[in-house]
A and B are shown apart, each in its own frame.
Chain A
């Protein structure tokens, strides 16, 4: 029997495939509007602080694969991550008393309370993002629907662009709402296949005075006790909360999500996801 290193990669890909499988967008069926009597909103936010995105090394891909290039990739990634973590430290220290989670909670509550037919009961945060906990949140809910809206916030590798993304899904908790599901039900309650709405919303903002140097950019974000980053993160949660409320309502009213506002542009990608690109921050 011969065993090729590539077999290991195929094996791991097959095993990891079991973890994957995320569809991009499914609009809320208009019929849901009259059947939602209450909604619990949970905001799982795994991270505790901002981080720098590290692009994965591609030595293995460039050299046609193999175990040795794969190990080189791991070593390169670790060095890059180590440097990125050191670089972002001043910004983290400047934001030590800032809570992105609290900002998002306030903005989501405000935006979804404007959508009267959702009947939002409560908006709560969760740092526990394990599948079991999310499943229990849905299966144990008393409300007729549960929304999970998880967020991630990061700086680009050069430290010049802030990107905040939100993956939102609305799960039915009554038979009449469950009947609106288009796909086949899955056993795990938090599986996206069980949702009657889901989408990914992204906010991005480039530091106006950005340079090509990461340390310089992070120093700019960090100045005045991190004021520029605090403002950008607050703006991101406000815009994403607004986008979510617009996206939920768009299939109800047949009105597309607005193409933008005074501070930026909204684009719906081919796969249905939404992206807000800010060109300025607001007061």
Chain B
């Protein structure tokens, strides 16, 4: 089938060629260390202010990046993804304060729950024409210095890999972290009540 080229089609062809060339790029992708939750993240949606009885005061006591290489977050094609991953995950945890029932505090004595966070995985990889992101954390809970158990959390996101682009890489990792944070948000509230 022959297709007549309208004004928009050469532009589309050029955009396609540009995308194909971008896919050929080998330059590393540098990501922002600031987590930006997707608008659909349930904990980040507008909720009425919490009643005092509902408030969960949380202290992030320790944060440890357990990954052997804490500079790299996988690769998009042959483009290595680089970021201050620890800062990115911490900003993600702090975004839980968008849930009006959660308030972060600085000391254990002020907190209903203290958490020790281990960053285990944070990466994106490409599979066929897609990109797949994973973030995994282990959180150890304690209350007044007494251990309250731990849990493994994993957030994921899969989407089409358009052109190994910087923006789409940031977005997929943000979605994976938001996916994980929804589980953390739910657990924090459940454990606070317990």
Bound Cα distance A8, B17 (Å): 8
**Shortest Cβ distance from B23 into A: residue:** A16
Contact A78 to B154, CB < 8 A, known contacts A8-B16, A16-B23, A54-B127:
no
CB atoms of A127 and B72 under 8 A apart: yes
In the complex, are the beta carbons of B129 and A48 less than 8 A apart? no
Could you tell me the distance in whole angstroms from the C-beta of B118 to the nearest C-beta in chain A?
Answer: 10
A53 nearest in chain B by CB position: B127
Residues of A whose CB lies within 8 Å of any CB of B are 1-5, 7-8, 11-12, 15-16, 18-19, 46-49, 51, 53-54, 56, 66, 73-74, 77-78, 80-82, 84-86, 89, 92-93, 96, 99, 101-102, 125-133
Cβ < 8 Å to A, chain B residues 160-192: 160
Quick one: given A16-B23, A129-B75, are A78 and B129 in contact (CB under 8 Å)?
Answer: yes
A86→B123 CA distance, assembly (Å): 16
B129 touching A49 by the CB < 8 A rule? no
Give which listed residue, B2, B28, B123, contacts A48 with CB less than 8 A: B123
What is the distance, in angstroms, from B59's C-beta to the closest C-beta of chain A?
Answer: 25
Contact B152 A96 (CB under 8 A): yes
Within the assembled complex, what's the spacing in Å between the Cα atoms of A19 and B164? 13
- B116-160 CB mask vs A (1 if < 8 Å, else 0) is 000011010101111010101010000000000000101010111
A-B contact pairs, 16 of them (CB 8 A): A2-B3, A18-B24, A47-B74, A54-B128, A73-B129, A78-B159, A78-B160, A81-B127, A82-B158, A93-B154, A127-B69, A128-B71, A128-B80, A130-B80, A132-B27, A132-B28
B78 & A47 in contact (Cβ 8 Å cutoff): no
CA distance A129 to B23 in the complex (A): 15
Contact (Cβ within 8 A) B17 A11? yes
B53 within 8 A of partner (CB): no
A129 touches B80 (CB 8 A): yes
How far apart are the CA atoms of A57 and B193 in the complex, in Å?
Answer: 48
Does chain A have a CB within 8 A of B62?
no
Q: Is the CB of A130 within 8 A of B27?
A: yes
B190 CB to closest chain A CB (Å) equals: 20
B131 to chain A, nearest CB (A): 9
Residues of A near B154 (CB, < 8 A) are 89, 92-93
Return the chain A residue nearest B74 by Cβ: A48
Known contacts A3-B13, A4-B2, A16-B23; decide if A48 and B134 are in contact (CB<8 Å). Answer: yes
In whole Å, how far is A27's beta carbon from the nearest beta carbon of chain B?
27
CB atoms of A46 and B132 under 8 A apart:
no
Which of B121, B128, B132, B160 has the most C-beta atoms of chain A within 10 angstroms of its own C-beta?
A: B128
From A2, A19, A49, A130, name the one whose CB has the most chain B CB atoms within 10 angstroms: A130
Q: Assess whether A11 is in contact with B80, with CB atoms less than 8 Å apart.
A: no
B17 touches A99 (CB 8 A): no
Given A8-B13, A51-B127, A78-B129, residue A96 in contact with residue B121 (CB < 8 A): yes
**Interface positions of B from 9 to 29, Cβ below 8 Å from A:** 9-10, 13, 16-17, 20-21, 23-24, 26-28
Q: Are A11 and B127 in touch, CB under 8 angstroms?
A: no
B68 within 8 A of A: yes
Say whether B26 contacts A131, CB under 8 Å.
yes
A267 → B minimal CB distance (Å): 27
The 3 closest A-B pairs by CB, nearest first: A131-B26, A127-B72, A127-B69
Contact A85 to B156, CB < 8 A, known contacts A4-B3, A16-B20, A127-B69: yes
Min distance, Cβ B73 to any Cβ of chain A, angstroms? 9
Q: Does B51 contact A (CB under 8 A)?
A: no
User: B50-76: which have CB < 8 Å to A?
Assistant: 67-69, 71-72, 74-75
Q: How far is the CB of B153 from chain A (nearest CB, A)?
A: 10
Chain B residues contacting A77 (CB-CB under 8 Å) are: 128-130
Given the known interface contacts A4-B3, A77-B130, A96-B120, the answer about A129 and B78 at a Cβ–Cβ threshold of 8 Å is yes
Closest to B66 in A: A97
Encode B62-101 as 1/0 by CB contact (under 8 A) with A.
0000011101101100111010000000000000000000
B4 at the A interface (CB under 8 A) = yes
Given A48-B123, A84-B127, A129-B80; 13 other pairs, CB 8 A cutoff = A3-B10, A5-B3, A11-B20, A12-B20, A18-B24, A19-B78, A80-B128, A85-B132, A92-B134, A127-B71, A127-B72, A130-B28, A130-B75
How many Å from the CB of B103 to the closest CB on chain A? 30
Per the bound structure, the CA–CA distance linking A130 and B129 in Å amounts to 19
Contact present for B28 and A89 (CB under 8 Å): no
